[in-house]
Structure formats: C-alpha cells, structure tokens
Amino acid sequence: MIKNLFIQNILSRPSISIKDFFLKRNNILNKDLIFFKNGRDAIIYGIKKLKIKDGSNILIPSYICQSIPNALELNGYKIVYQDINDKLSFDINALKNNIIKHQIKAVLFVNYFGFNVNNSEVLDLCRDLDIVTLEDNCHSYLSGDKFYLEEIEADLSVFSLRKSLPVKDGGVLRVNSKHIKKNINHEIILSHKSLINDLPFLLSKVAEYIISKLGIFNLYSDSITKIKYRANKYFGNVNKEESNQIKPTRPSFLLNTYLMNHSYEEEVKKKVIENFDYLNEKINPSFLKPLLGNCNEETVPQYAIFFDSNAILFKNLRRKRIGASRWPASELPDFVRNNKEAFPNSNFFNENLVMIPIHKDITKKHLDSILDIIKH
C-alpha cells in the first residue's frame, strides 16, 4: 500500500504556469472570432443565426459526444446520424443518399483529434445540394491555419480551445463572410474579462497540480472518474431556457493572453509534435498500432492514439496514474451505442482506442514511463 503512495500523476490536460500571466501580447486577433463559453454554445448559436427552422433535419456523425445532439434536439432540431468510415470521414455516397432521403438542411462534420481529415468531398456535395455545412474543429485548434484563415470553406467553423489550452472557456465561432451581413450582425466582443473571473478556475487548477505532484491519491481511479463524470453531467446540462439565451461573450483573461502571444502557440505546437513523434518512433506498430501516422505541419494531434482492444492499455495506464482517455467513452449517444449494427465504426472506435497525453507539460521522462508500461 505504502509503495503506491506519493507517485506523481501524469495529467491528461496541460497546467497553468506562473510565467503565463506575464506573456507579452504581441499578436493581433482575427476580427472574425466570436467567443462563447464552449464549442456546443457556438454550434447552437451559429445554426440558429443561419435561420435553420425548428423541426429541420440535421445530419451529424454518430461518433460524437451526446451533448451535441442533446443541445440540437433541445432547440427543436431533428437528428439524423451517419456512421464514419475508417478514415474518420463520411462515405460520400451514403451521405448523398441520407441528404435526399431525410431532406437534410445542415451537415455537421468533425476533424477528429487534431488530424487533418479530408472533408473536401463533403463540402463539394453540400454546396451542390445547397446544404449548410458546419465544420467542427473542437479537437483541431492547433492544426493547420483554419483558425487564422482570412476565409473559411464551410458556412460555420467551430473551435473549443480549452481542449488544447489550460483555460476554462474557449468556444469560438467563425462564419463564412457570405453570411455576416445577411444573418449575423457581428456580435463580436474584442475586450476580455478580468483576471478575477478566472480565480475559481485557477484555484482548481492549482489544487489539481499540487495533488498530481504530491501523488497522495490517483486522480484517474475509477471512483474519482465517476465523481468527475457526475459533476460534469450535473453542471454541464443545459435547459431550453438557457439554450435560447446563448450569446457571444468576452474571452477570459487567460484565453486572451494565450491567443495574443503567437510564440506561446508555436512552442505548444512544437512540444506536442515532438512528444507525438517520440512515442510513435519508440512503439512497434505491429505490437501497438497507431490510429494515424506521423505528423506534418498541418497536423498537431491532441493525443497519441493507438488501437487498444478491450481497453487493456487504457485501464493499465490509468491504474498507474497516467491520464489516458477514451473519446467520447460514456458520452457516445445512447441511440448509437444501442444500434451497433447500424453504426459499427463509431462503436469500434469508441471501445478500441486509447488516447495518451502528449501536451506541453509532458516530458521525455513521462514518455519513457508510459513506454515502460506499454512494454510490460
């Protein structure tokens, strides 16, 4: 028992450093960024502003978090699920059939885990059929330059920066310029909130960091995981009244600080790619197969992701206090989970992938510890 005490936890998300508060603000934010509490709010706000009527059918991938279809249904939309293929995209023929069969008004597609999924065929088909497109980049803020491009290809593009940065907020909406004057009256707020607003979040991050370093208990034990899940479910639920009142907000002090310092973002990208490549080079793919191959300048992955049959590695890593994860895990929509024959790929990915943390705080020593667990 004593042997297992005081073992440091390797956190699944990056921590805040003291020096972060003193980063120079030398970057100019894109004037088209519209900020929200989270990515889900950005999605709902964007769809409603494009005048998609209540009762309309919206097609989304079945490999997705339950919170997205819940929020859409809460706002009166009907959900049509489509499974993804082994390349994490839609089969284009099946998509066309579904659009026609179900009279789809909007299609949401996802760039998963920071990987640059090829969705050009999806965009082309939807343009031809005059279907609204929503690109979900919630995993992919650091990948490519979609966040900074002067113009986006989809009608709407959504980001969730808190998945990549140590912030409490970070939902961001970008709108194709053809809709700006017609439907969205540029409700963009350029100022940021006071640091005081970040204090509860900062205290929680400090507590997490201290606990992880002291190693008093395992932050990734089953009991702690259940408590976190229940808390997130309780505080994350949105009722219809709240959903109808979604509006843009000011970014937090920390989020604004990170976005205004371009060198910070470049350092984060460099570190993540180095960690990803290190793990991929050290692991024999015949023993543990990666989901996707090496990075390029267009790809900054959220995690190092491997196929993990029956979640054996996932369970072992968490038992060893390493913040490995699965996605969306228990958050896969119940309808998808209960219809495995209709959505085989979504269920397979949900049950057989392990996400290993590679964020900016992960050191070579951490990676070597992870490699030792994998080997044994």
Residue 35: which residues within 8 A CB-CB, separation 6 or more? 169, 171, 172, 189, 248, 249, 250, 251, 255
pLDDT in tens, 292-323: 877 776 789 999 999 999 899 999 999 999 99
Hey, what amino acid is at 312?
Answer: I
On whether residue 216 sits in a domain, the answer given is: yes
Q: What percent of the chain lies above the pLDDT cut of 70?
A: 91
Q: Where are the alpha helices (DSSP H) in the chain?
A: 39-49, 67-74, 92-102, 120-128, 177-183, 199-214, 222-236, 240-244, 253-259, 262-282, 312-319, 334-337, 344-352, 364-375
Alpha-carbon distance of 100 to 13, in angstroms, equals: 41
Same domain, 208 and 355: yes
Enclosing domain of residue 162:
29-183
Same domain, 368 and 311: yes
Q: Give the confidence band of 240 by pLDDT, cuts at 50, 70, 90.
A: low
Alpha-carbon distance of 57 to 52, in angstroms, equals: 9
On whether residue 192 sits in a domain, the answer given is: no
Specify the pTM.
0.91
Look up the CATH number of the domain holding residue 151: 3.40.640.10
pLDDT in tens, 329-371: 999 999 999 999 999 999 999 999 999 999 999 999 999 999 9
Question: Domain total for the chain?
Answer: 2
Same domain, 63 and 138: yes
Total H helices, total E strands in the chain:
14, 9
Same domain, 153 and 271: no
Same domain, 177 and 206: no
Same domain, 34 and 154: yes
Query: Is the distance from CB of 354 to CB of 314 less than 8 angstroms?
Result: yes
On whether residue 23 sits in a domain, the answer given is: no
Same domain, 132 and 160: yes
Q: Scanning the structure block, which residue is given the tokens 């206090």? A: 321
